[in-house]
A = this chain, B = another copy of it.
């Protein structure tokens, strides 16, 4: 923890430290609000948060098996199964027989599911477009990169952590 050190050099950059704190606080605020907003979305769009993520996954990544969906959502496969149950009941998704594996099924969004996903997506995009308009394209793209890295890093630490507790001491 000093001059010739094994720790990231960056720890000693005060501007970086400050920027990180500010970003962390902003991100945390956003998470809190979004978690509320997402709870709220349930009654607005007739799907719950997980159902919404699942639908989004099926629409934007295409058909996948239940296990793949569970991994995408960071949910237990049993939970994912019930999420799909709900989407199927509402006719937003369907379980098709898997062509090569009779144990598995292929999950697919129905046309109604696609339409709903489009509506939800557009309602959010419209809001965000306005907020981004003030920034230059360079900055906008860099921001996306930052978010992707944060997501990738978090995903990695989740995976190497064995999917569960406790990689943080």
Contact of A33 with B146 at beta-carbon distance under 8 Å, contacts A10-B130, A166-B44 already known: no
Q: How far is the CB of A81 from chain B (nearest CB, A)?
A: 17
Q: Which residues of B contact A40 (CB under 8 A)?
A: 158, 161, 164-166
> Do B143 and A146 have beta carbons less than 8 Å apart?
yes
Q: Which of A15, A27, A127, A148 has the most CB of B within 10 A?
A: A27
Q: Which of B30, B36, B145 contacts A147 (CB 8 A)?
A: B30
For the complex, would chain A's binding face be called helix, strand, loop or mixed by DSSP majority?
helix
State which residues 5-63 of A face B: CB under 8 Å. Answer: 8, 10-11, 13, 15-17, 19-38, 40-41, 43-45, 53, 56, 60
Question: Can you show 12 pairs from A to B with CB atoms below 8 A apart?
Answer: A11-B129, A15-B137, A16-B140, A20-B125, A20-B128, A23-B128, A23-B140, A25-B60, A28-B56, A30-B147, A33-B151, A135-B142
